[in-house]
Amino acid sequence: MESALASQSSTAVQATPRTRKLQVLGILSGFTAGAWLGAAEAPTKLVSIGVSPMVISLIMVVGVFLARWSLPALILGTSSVRADVRRAPHLIIWALLAGCLWAVANTLTIFAIRDIGLSIAFPLWNSNSLLGILWGFLFFNELRQAGWRRWAGVLGGTLVMCVGAALLAIASSSEAPAAHSLRGVWAALGAGVLWGTMYIPYRKAYLTGMNPLSFVTFFTFGELGMMTALAVSYLGVAPLWRELMGARDVLFWLMLGGFIWVIGDLFQQYAAKYVGISRGIPLSNTNQLWGLLWGILVFGELHSRGASLYMQVVGGSLLMMLGVGAIALSSATGKEQSRWKEAARREGERYDVAHDYVEARMDGRQAATEEKPSRGALDWLLVAGATFIFVVLATIARVPQISFRWGPAALLIAATLVLLLVCGAKLWRTTHFH
């Protein structure tokens, strides 16, 4: 008995550095997600033809679909996905639901941008982080027993980020809002609510041990299915096909945007897993900052505009960084961590998932009963198939004639790749992508 207690106490003492390590990993994943989600906007800026927004969104989702199957196959192999689904089959429903939420939210943003402009729409849908805090608190014990300092750090940081985001969005908007402003406001708020709620399935999955790489493979069926249904119902099959054929020389750029977006989203998933949704969502919302950097430095947006505009951009960026710093310094304490574990136990019992499996996965490890993941012929086929499609589309792609500054682009690409390598290596060393 005594030795069991001593062993438990020793495990608790040893768990603390591991927990801290995972928190740092989650924060780093959130930053990396922001960089990659922001970079995903770059290829879409190359597309300036008259394709309907619904079709642009659909093509990007097709790129997302290819990436969501080929990347997990390359990193861990589909055997790992199959094993995860055997353990927690209920998560297929949750993943499909999350994918549907994403697709509807994305479509609403198209209407929001058209009706009220990016400057008002972006901060409105970025309110999703506030909703994420609410759902995290209500359903998953996040920020419970966290103390007022951490509450102030997370909530205050998120609010400061919202103000910074509003400043950046106003600065980056060059178009006056069109008519139907009330409709646009509703669309943007609706997108924020849908995106904020989408994180309930995310957190649910990670509290019952699912690997983010497995979750996204099913998520994408909901995403593609819902997006196709929306595009067909709003445009009709024949007009949709005609638009797709008309856009074949820009398919590559749009699908590349989707592919890059998936890399960002994968890191976002790891952030949601290791720091929770209350901290993970605001951290990955820094994508707006990166998107603006691409726009200003590489595509020459805001060129020769007044000094006050640049002050607005600098001010907004500083506020966003301040908010991110506050959230990053408010990582969960031991008491809050134990409340997370309570929520994980509750989920494990409800869905009949073995306790040791849930505990191991929460700790970024494989359970003792698990087999080591391996890649097979199917995985290489998926990787080769996705690569082939991208190569074929690249050969028919048209290089657009637009202002593009290679120097800043090389710097931003280098910074984004460094984040990928650093965070990817840390994820591999600490969790082997679990």
Partner 1 sequence: MQQNGRTDPTRNWVAIVLTDIHFWVPVAVLLGGLLLLRLIH
Task: Choose the stretch contacting partner 1; rule: CB under 8 A; options: 55-63, 86-94, 317-325, 405-413.
Answer: 86-94
What DSSP state is assigned to residue 179?
S
Q: Which of 198, 205, 210, 260 binds partner 1 (CB under 8 A)?
A: 198
Terminal-to-terminal C-alpha distance of the chain: 33
For partner 1, the closer of residues 134 and 389 by Cβ is 134
For partner 1, the closer of residues 93 and 414 by Cβ is 93
Q: Positive or negative CA dihedral for 163, 165, 168, 172?
A: negative
Q: Between residue 122 and residue 141, which ones bind partner 1 under the rule CB under 8 A?
A: 135, 139
For partner 1, the closer of residues 193 and 321 by Cβ is 193
- Is the CB of residue 193 less than 8 Å from the CB of residue 335? no
Tell me how far the alpha carbon of residue 390 is from its chain's centroid.
22
CA angle, corner 408, sides to 403 and 409, nearest 5? 70
Please state, as a whole number, how many other Cβ atoms lie within 10 Å of the Cβ of residue 306: 9
Q: Which of 51, 104, 409, 415 binds partner 1 (CB under 8 A)?
A: 104
Q: Does 86 bind partner 1 (CB under 8 A)?
A: yes
Tell me the H-state helices in 142-211.
147-151, 157-172, 181-207
Least distance (Å) between residue 263 CB and partner 1: 25
For partner 1, the closer of residues 66 and 121 by Cβ is 121
What DSSP state is assigned to residue 351?
T
Task: Give me the DSSP letters along 123-145.
Answer: HHHTTHHHHHHHHHHHHH-TTTT
Least Cα distance to 70 among 258, 290, 231, 350 occurs for 258
Least distance (Å) between residue 139 CB and partner 1: 6
Least distance (Å) between residue 264 CB and partner 1: 22
Q: Between residue 20 and residue 79, which ones bind partner 1 under the rule CB under 8 A?
A: none
Q: Does 432 bind partner 1 (CB under 8 A)?
A: no
Least distance (Å) between residue 84 CB and partner 1: 10
Q: Does 235 bind partner 1 (CB under 8 A)?
A: no
Q: Which of 101, 169, 292, 382 binds partner 1 (CB under 8 A)?
A: 101
For partner 1, the closer of residues 101 and 260 by Cβ is 101
Single-letter residue type at 290? W
Task: Choose the stretch contacting partner 1; rule: CB under 8 A; options: 170-178, 185-193, 310-318, 329-337.
Answer: 185-193
Q: Does 98 bind partner 1 (CB under 8 A)?
A: yes
In angstroms, the Cα distances linking 15 to 4, 30, 175, 279, 360 are 16, 22, 53, 21, 12
Q: Between residue 318 and residue 377, which ones bind partner 1 under the rule CB under 8 A?
A: 350-354, 356-357, 367, 369-370
Task: Choose the stretch contacting partner 1; rule: CB under 8 A; options: 9-17, 192-200, 309-317, 424-432.
Answer: 192-200
- Cα separation of 56 and 394, whole Å? 17
Q: Which of 47, 58, 230, 254 binds partner 1 (CB under 8 A)?
A: 230
Q: Which of 164, 201, 257, 316 binds partner 1 (CB under 8 A)?
A: 201
3-state secondary structure 252-308: HHHHHHHHHHHHHHHHHHHHHHHHCHHHHHHHHCCHHHHHHHHHHHHCCCCCCCCHH
For partner 1, the closer of residues 150 and 203 by Cβ is 203
Task: Choose the stretch contacting partner 1; rule: CB under 8 A; options: 29-37, 88-96, 157-165, 379-387.
Answer: 88-96
Q: Which of 10, 14, 234, 392 binds partner 1 (CB under 8 A)?
A: 234
Least distance (Å) between residue 100 CB and partner 1: 6
Q: Which of 26, 190, 291, 323 binds partner 1 (CB under 8 A)?
A: 190
Neighbouring C-alpha atoms within 13 Å toward the C-beta of 216: 27
- Is the CB of residue 315 less than 8 Å from the CB of residue 298? no
Least distance (Å) between residue 372 CB and partner 1: 14
Least distance (Å) between residue 217 CB and partner 1: 18
420-432 b/e with 16+ CB inside 10 Å = b?
beebbebbeebbe
- Cα separation of 58 and 64, whole Å? 10
Residue numbers at the binding site for partner 1 (CB under 8 A):
83, 86-87, 89-90, 93-94, 97-98, 100-101, 104-105, 107-108, 111, 135, 139, 183, 186-187, 190, 193-194, 197-198, 200-201, 204, 230, 234, 350-354, 356-357, 367, 369-370
